[in-house]
Amino acid sequence: MGMDDARAPNPSPHDRTGSRGKRRGGVRARDAAHGAGSGAASGNSDSPDNLVYPGERLGLPRTGSGSVAGYGRRLGALFIDWLVALLTVSFIAAAAGWRLTPGNLWPVAAFGVETWLLTALLGLTFGKRMLGLRVVRVDGQPVGPLWALVRTALLLAVVPALLWDRDYRGLHDKAAQTVVVRS
């Protein structure tokens, strides 16, 4: 065993190269392919090379309860919540004898109030409940009314919700320090 092999770091159990223990001149094969300054060798634990799955850097499990929710379920929950808001406004309007016109903002208001209150009080909405999702704070605290309001206001602005990071968190989640996980 050469001098370089003795000083080389142990391979990560999350090494995606499948070369667990295979070294090239004392440097892991992955580090050789991506440059000597990448990954754990440079102390950058958040580099894409070290992250194997969404939520890993947040300390969340890869699968099962508490793991980061995927795009499909989140969009499905959003669709259900929007449908609930539309039906609620339609029912109230019909009962009160109001006529809803295209471009009316009452469904948006109903969606916002529903999302804000249910997220603040329960950490979930009707759609999230039906699809097995919940909103949690990254620090483990309850979402609460203030952070739920911040998250909902940015969600209603649409654009922040369309910009995602590698943990599937939109800007609305990042601003409120939340993440959507599986129940």
How confident is the prediction along the chain (183 residues), in pLDDT tens digits per residue?
A: 444 444 444 443 443 333 333 333 333 333 333 333 333 333 445 555 566 899 898 889 999 999 999 989 999 999 999 999 999 999 999 999 988 888 889 999 999 999 999 999 999 999 999 999 999 999 988 999 999 999 999 999 988 888 889 898 999 999 999 999 999
Q: Other C-beta atoms within 10 Å of 54: how many?
A: 20
User: Look-up: residue for tokens 């099962």?
Assistant: 64
The first and second tokens of residue 95, run together, are 């009962």
- Cα torsion 142, 147, 148, 151: sign: negative
- In this structure, which long-range contacts are made by residues 20-28, counting pairs with CB atoms below 8 Å and at least 24 apart in sequence? 26/2
Q: How many CA atoms lie within 13 A of 25 on its CB side?
A: 5
Can you give the residue ranges of every domain in the chain? 3-52, 71-182
pLDDT of residue 46: 52
